[in-house]
Amino acid sequence: MRKITDIFKSQPITFSCEIFPPKTEQGYENLKTTISEWARLKPDFISCTYGAGGGNREKTLDIVQLIQNRHQIAGLAHLTCVLNTKQQIREIVEDIKRRGVRNILALRGDPPLDNPNWQPGENNFRFSKDLCADIRLQYGDFFSIGAAGFPEGHILCKDRDRDAGYLKNKIENGAEFVITQFFFDNADYFAYVERLRRIGVTARVIPGLLPITNYENMIKFCKMNGTTITPQVKQIFEPIQNDPSATLKAGIAFAIQQSRALLKGGAPGLHFYCLNKIHPTQEIWEAVL
């Protein structure tokens, strides 16, 4: 299966989405249908989270394999290092390789809610950059490695220059592309890319987009990751928050506008947090193609 960096060689702009492993067997069956629907849109790659939405690591890798084997679409396996020892992580990376997956999003992850005070020790990777370095050391250029980027700074590092420096460390240690946290003000994304370019980071920075379909859920997501709810978003969505169809309609319109402006401004693609659904991302996608 192709590496994402090889896809970049022929695709100046990529379209991709993120899914997560469902918690139930029925959810898993439904996701298989959604993946088939996604496959018809021919995304350049599909990523699958680990940890964030529940499910176990096996499921993440099963899903990535299914994306690749059944649909011939490049899969991107998220890999987090919290809670696992270096040795365990190396075994997982070996499993990823054995399954024919060539793309890893190398993340630190967050301590789980039931163990919020977990701290890395000698036998753990402390930061994503350490995971990037280890994968490169063990596997050379077998994998395409991606890293998470934060246009507004990570929630625990609001100093944007320092945060950009941490991203640079990940690239220096082997990451080759970046997928960002979602944001609602494109100026944050463009300023982030400029900040990175100024310090010598040339890797592709693919913007992550969350189409707003439910105002309350969107607020929850923003609280978790520190994304700013801009005055424009408040103004559009607050008055219609109890009207699901108006919210959906406005969410599609907002995402189309945001996507078009990103591409017009030079973004090298769009990565959609589609929440395991084909709608409304399909509509947004087809409008900006």
Ligand X SMILES: Cc1cc2nc3c(=O)[nH]c(=O)nc-3n(C[C@H](O)[C@H](O)[C@H](O)COP(=O)(O)OP(=O)(O)OC[C@H]3O[C@@H](n4cnc5c(N)ncnc54)[C@H](O)[C@@H]3O)c2cc1C
Output the six-digit token pair for 282: 């399909």
Cβ-contact 129, 166 below 8 angstroms:
yes
Binding mask 217-256 for ligand X (x = CB under 6 A): ----------------------------------------
Q: Does 208 engage in binding with ligand X (CB under 6 A)?
A: yes
Closest to 177 (Cα-Cα) out of 1, 48, 37, 9: 9
Q: Does 139 engage in binding with ligand X (CB under 6 A)?
A: no
**SS3 (DSSP) at 180:** strand
Q: Does 163 engage in binding with ligand X (CB under 6 A)?
A: yes
Provide the b/e sequence for 278-289 (b: ≥16 CB within 10 Å). Answer: bebbbebbeebe
Q: Does 110 engage in binding with ligand X (CB under 6 A)?
A: yes
Binding mask 80-109 for ligand X (x = CB under 6 A): x------------------------x-xxx
Q: State which residue, 250 or 255, has the beta carbon closest to ligand X.
A: 255
Residue 239 C-beta: closest distance to ligand X, Å: 30
Residue 241 C-beta: closest distance to ligand X, Å: 25
**SS3 (DSSP) at 183:** coil
Closest to 13 (Cα-Cα) out of 279, 196, 259, 277: 259
Residue 49 C-beta: closest distance to ligand X, Å: 3
Q: Does 173 engage in binding with ligand X (CB under 6 A)?
A: no
Output the six-digit token pair for 36: 């088939």
Closest to 94 (Cα-Cα) out of 138, 39, 50: 138
Residue 127 C-beta: closest distance to ligand X, Å: 3
How far apart are the C-alpha atoms of 160 and 121, rounded to whole Å?
Answer: 27
Q: State which residue, 210 or 236, has the beta carbon closest to ligand X.
A: 210
- The upper half-sphere exposure of residue 207, i.e. CA atoms within 13 Å in the direction of its Cβ, equals 32
Which range touches ligand X (CB under 6 A), out of 1-9, 136-144, 149-157, 244-252?
149-157
Q: Does 156 engage in binding with ligand X (CB under 6 A)?
A: yes
CA distances in angstroms from 45 to 5, 22, 73, 104, listed in the order given: 11, 19, 6, 12
Residue 169 C-beta: closest distance to ligand X, Å: 6
How far apart are the C-alpha atoms of 140 and 143, rounded to whole Å?
Answer: 8
37 catalytically annotated: no
Q: Does 144 engage in binding with ligand X (CB under 6 A)?
A: no
Residue 156 C-beta: closest distance to ligand X, Å: 4
Closest to 267 (Cα-Cα) out of 172, 180, 139, 176: 180
Q: State which residue, 48 or 248, has the beta carbon closest to ligand X.
A: 48
Closest to 133 (Cα-Cα) out of 111, 154, 108: 108
The site for ligand X (CB under 6 A) is made up of 49-52, 78, 80, 105, 107-110, 127-128, 148, 154, 156-157, 163, 166, 169, 179, 181, 208
Query: Which residues are known catalytic residues?
Result: 18
